[in-house]
Amino acid sequence: MALELLGDAMATLIIGNKNYSSWSLRPWVLMEMLGMPFVEHLEPFEGSDNYDRFREFSPSGKVPCLVEDGITIWDSLAVVERLAEIDPRVWPESIAARAFARSVSCEIHSGFTAVRAACPMICRTQFRFQKASPAVDRELARLDELIAQGLETFRGPFMAGGQFTAVDAFLCPIAVRVSGFQLPLSSSSLDYCARLLALEPMQRWISEARAEPWVDEQEELTARKNAVVLTSDQDL
Ligand SMILES: N[C@@H](CCC(=O)N[C@@H](CS)C(=O)NCC(=O)O)C(=O)O
């Protein structure tokens, strides 16, 4: 796919499969929640090696990326920072809330590798997680800690106050994993995750994910190694 085919009238957000692409979900849900106009272009994963095909539009060979007036911005964090230049509501207003939101977003972006590896985001399947490990337990405890800190300090209902901002977008894929794998978190963290999943764009993302025909066997097998399948729209 050549970039010219995407059109340049409006920013185009190129995403992967809604069922699996946790990184794509972040800028997508943020733009949807803020009502930012964009064209969605979904480029499905085909097998385990999409690098050459994705390199035609994304320098890293990965999604998401944002194409705007012939400029390509790749990596979800860079995309979110570009969105912040366009719309100040991307980050919270107060310095303290902004500092917290940015720190948590970066921590999520570079961390939580044990939970990410053990519990891939799979929207269509309901699992029960069974492979606890010290690394996963530590990350879940940290997740509880940072959600509690955000809600207590900024008084909710979102992570850095009354409005949905980028930090909530970064937590949306985690909310899918928490619910999809029944991960053990505190009741206030579970309530916060449920609040994210109830948002209209999240409901739409999940129902569109469930309607997708593509199956990523590698992700599905990873999940099945670590968890029992409770309900699935997809037999392997
Ligand atoms: N750090 C990158 C990670 C992007 C990433 O890993 N994207 C995955 C999809 S969720 C991808 O494009 N993988 C290529 C592939 O599966 O072939 C970001 O934040 O955007």
Which pLDDT score is estimated for 1? 45
Distance of CA 204 to the CA centre of its chain: 14
CA of 76 to the centre of ligand 1 (A): 9
Ligand 1 atom at minimum distance from 65 CA: 20
Q: Which two tokens stand for residue 74?
A: 């790749």
Q: Which among 40, 61, 89 is the end of a domain? A: 89
Examine the domain organization and report whether 134 and 176 are in the same domain: yes
- The domain of 75 spans 3-89
What's the predicted TM-score (pTM) here? 0.95
Look at the block and give the residue holding tokens 């106050």. Answer: 161
> Over the stretch 137-162, which tens digit does the pLDDT of each residue have?
999 999 999 999 999 999 999 999 99
Ligand 1 atom at minimum distance from 64 CA: 20
Look at the block and give the residue holding tokens 């509501």. Answer: 89
Examine the domain organization and report whether 124 and 185 are in the same domain: yes
CB 138 within 8 A of CB 113: no
CATH number at residue 219: 1.20.1050.10
Q: What pLDDT tens digit does each residue of the chain (236 aa) get?
A: 444 444 456 899 999 999 999 999 999 999 999 999 999 999 999 888 999 999 999 999 999 999 999 999 999 999 999 999 999 999 999 999 999 999 999 999 999 999 999 999 999 999 999 988 999 999 999 999 999 999 999 999 999 999 999 999 999 999 999 999 999 999 999 999 999 999 999 999 999 999 999 999 889 999 999 999 998 766 66
